[in-house]
Chains A and B, each alone.
Chain A
Amino acid sequence: MNLVHQTPINTTPPDLVRFEGVRKSYDGIHFVVDDLNLSVRKGEFLTMLGPSGSGKTTTLMMLGGFERPTLGHILLDGRPVERLPPEKRNIGFVFQNYALFPHMTVAENIAFPLQCRKITGAAAETKVKAALERVQLGAFGNRKPVQLSGGQQQRVALARALVFEPSLVLMDEPLGALDKQLREHMQVEIKHLQQSLGITMVYVTHDQSEALTMSDRIAVFHDGRIQQLDGPRRLYDCPSNRFVAGFIGESNLVDGLIDGFEGGEAIVRAPDGAVLRAPAVEGAKAGMKVTVLIRPERMAVHNADGPERQNIVRGLIREIFFLGDHLRLSIAALGLDELLVRIPAAQGEGLVANAEVELAFAISDARILTA
């Protein structure tokens, strides 16, 4: 019998990084990062997502060793590293503008971290070659960084951060300077690299679709605090507050008052008097002001064939936008001027602006947010 086989496959991998009560302030009054408790699991792709000024980059810089936490601890492999300089952390870092060294060739750039580790000669050459192959730049070793396109520079930065086989790679908005198509291509490439090498990645971005595409887990930052830490699917379906709901994906946030409960469902009254049913959530009480989240693509134009138990809402179509595969309807309803609805183009026949419409959506697609 091999003992290893008895371990259940589903155990969460051990933590590689732990932030424990980390706070960071530059002026002693305002905290750009506040009460940060976060674990990064070995081998996962964790994204820190948030608007600018939310503290995500500062958090990354503290992990990279370029900023020191004002309070709290950062553990790397169980070891506190707040006072460890960046060069002793063995963490790969890809910067926003790549930070390639312009006076060195691509190969010299990639050999630099090896040189720092006293790996030279044939051993270094093999590693550099392999690193270049890995990012499909085998023939570019002798070029200077300025001779490469943005995407190629990005790949070199990646190869350089990976060549010394760090256990952890940090990326600070690495795709921000690329155009949309290349960005989407690189997202997949980075994700594949991360999976095939089995490395842990902490990725900072303000682009929610990038975060959803690449991440195993996403930490949503706002005002220096993590608002929610979850997988992409859960983050989208079950945001824990208004900010997360608004930041991730398109959303309709309807103000409402809980009238009462009925069989695990809450009855919510919208500002225009309409009554919605939504699954009850923890902490919701009768008479409480709440927000109801309804995603635009979960609503449909009501027809008689739909299920009997569902929310039905009346509204006035303000505008209709044709987007090829789908239509976007802007509807005045539920006390909102612009309730967004997205329906397949085929279902939109006969809809005209300034006409009344009945919308329907499942009770489970209305989500009550108490914060």
Chain B
Amino acid sequence: MDTTLEKIKILIAVREAARPARRAAFSLALPLLVFLIVTFVAPIVLLLFTAVNNPEPQAVIPQTLAALERWDGKAMPEEAVFAALAKELAQAQQDRTAALLGKRFNYEVPGMRSRVVSAARMALANPTGPYRERFLALDAEWGSPALWAVVKRNAGTLTPYYLLNAIDLQQEPDGSLQRVEADQRVFMTILGRTLFVAFTVTFLTLVLGYPVAYMLTIAPSGVARIMMLCVLLPLWTSLLVRTTAWVVLLQTDGVINDALLALGFTDHRLQLIFSRFGTVAAMTHIQLPFTILPIYSVMKSIPPTQLRAARSLGAGPLSSFWKIYAPQTVPGVMAGGLITFILSLGYYITPALVGGPGDQMVSNFISIYINRDLNWGLASALGVILLTVTIAIYLVFLRLVGAEKLRMG
């Protein structure tokens, strides 16, 4: 028997023997790794950080925030706070940063943008006291403790505001969490809609794709090759092109409506485009290959003798398929379903072009906040929520079916 020391030496020797191979593997993967970190991981981490980043107040009014620290939060803040604010807003007006601060506060207190901008203009034009009275004369709201509570809350460079907003919550002036006003609760609805559409699309691709995958498996090789081409062809076509094709098809004056009218299925033109139906139909079509391919690859690996064996043992054709074949395809169904579900959660182009206002998904709102509203914080927060939900669903899924039940091809 080897002593413990010898065993350890052997282990070390084994590891050392494998080192060149490990080093080679690592150096082969290194270029891709660096590329991914620079172009993919780092931007995502930065963007996710934007969801909690809160640079404006500390950058523009640091002294005001310091003065506010001693404020009890009940009465109006004392003169010193207003004096500091006036001085810093005057500077901000010169630096052209007052509007940025106003915009930032405007997210949390409506009307803050113009309030800050006009106060800054005033402070620059006439930098004399008493500041409190002049601020109150400009806008009585400057005396509201609720407004100052929001300002004080933003003393830190991190804020939960965007994340809370992305799940329809807000922080009250006293710090407690409340749901936002009923007419502003949009994001949970959007998230629910996104999940629902993704689920529907996944379900439809499975129902439509499973038989196709099976046909691909049992068809004679010549036919199977043509079928496979038909499955793959859309995959090689640009997503935008396929979506645009659907836009053409679904037009009120489009081919589908023409055909339905001509065949007498309907007596008026149906609203197909800009509807949930159009969105789901187009997404299902685009996602079908992603569902079919993993199922096909699993089915291909099941020997045909499995079904024959089941038949010879006394099971009818249906029961053979259901009890012997279908259970063995589960890893493919799971993998295909999961891929389609996760991809569907992030759909942007298709709902944007084919869906109506009520069919826009989380991604569309992320885009709106980035491109139109320039509210990167909220866009990032929505991204964080979507990513969290996706990862959570993936983990729950793995937990429920087991990692070994998943085969990606």
Contacts and interface: CB of A to CB of B under 8 A. Distances in A.
Interface of A: 64-66, 85-87, 89-93, 95-97, 99-103, 112-113, 116-117, 160-161, 164
A191 B1 CA distance: 46
Contact of A95 (B309, B316, B317): B309
A95 B315 contact: no
B306 A87 contact: no
9 smallest CB-CB distances across A and B, nearest first, come from A116-B314, A99-B309, A93-B312, A113-B313, A99-B305, A86-B311, A95-B305, A103-B327, A116-B315
Interface in B52-76: none
Contacts of A101: 306, 309-310, 324, 328
B319 interface: yes
A164 B323 CA distance: 18
Given A101-B324, A116-B319, A91 B305 contact: no
Nearest to B328: A103
Which label, helix, strand, loop or mixed, suits the secondary structure of the B interface? helix
Interface residues of B, number: 19
B308 A86 contact: yes
A325 to B, nearest CB: 41
A92 B312 contact: yes
A85 B312 CA distance: 9
B315 A87 contact: yes
28 contacts: A64-B308, A65-B311, A66-B311, A85-B311, A86-B311, A87-B311, A87-B312, A87-B313, A87-B320, A93-B308, A93-B312, A95-B308, A96-B305, A97-B303, A97-B305, A99-B305, A99-B309, A101-B310, A101-B324, A102-B328, A103-B327, A112-B323, A113-B313, A116-B314, A117-B314, A160-B313, A164-B313, A164-B314
Interface string B387-403: 00000000000000000
Interface string B315-355: 11101100110011000000000000000000000000000
Given A101-B324, A103-B327, A85 B309 contact: no
B53 to A, nearest CB: 50
Contacts, number: 63
Nearest to A113: B313
Contact of B313 (A97, A103, A116): A116
Contacts of B315: 87, 112, 116
B314 to A, nearest CB: 4
Contacts of A97: 303, 305
Given A99-B303, A101-B324, A102-B328, A87 B316 contact: yes
Task: Output the residue of A65, A85, A99, A117 with the most chain B CB within 10 A.
Answer: A99
A99 B328 contact: no
Interface centre among B309, B315, B320, B324 (most CB of A within 10 A): B309
From A86, A89, A100, A161, name the one whose CB has the most chain B CB atoms within 10 angstroms: A86
Contacts of B312: 64-65, 86-87, 89, 91-93, 161
Nearest to A164: B314
A113 B316 CA distance: 11
Contacts of B320: 87
B336 to A, nearest CB: 18
Contacts of B328: 101-103
Nearest to B320: A87
B308 A66 contact: yes
A90 B314 contact: yes
A113 B310 CA distance: 8
A65 B316 CA distance: 12
Contacts of B327: 103
A161 B310 CA distance: 11
Interface string B264-288: 0000000000000000000000000
Contacts of A112: 310, 313, 315, 323
Nearest to A118: B314
Nearest to A160: B313
B131 to A, nearest CB: 78
Nearest to B323: A112
Contacts of B324: 101
Contacts of B323: 112
Contacts of A87: 311-316, 320
A211 to B, nearest CB: 22
Contacts of A86: 308, 311-312
Given A99-B306, A160-B313, 16 more contacts: A65-B311, A65-B312, A85-B311, A87-B313, A87-B315, A89-B312, A92-B312, A93-B313, A95-B305, A99-B305, A101-B310, A101-B324, A101-B328, A102-B328, A113-B313, A117-B314
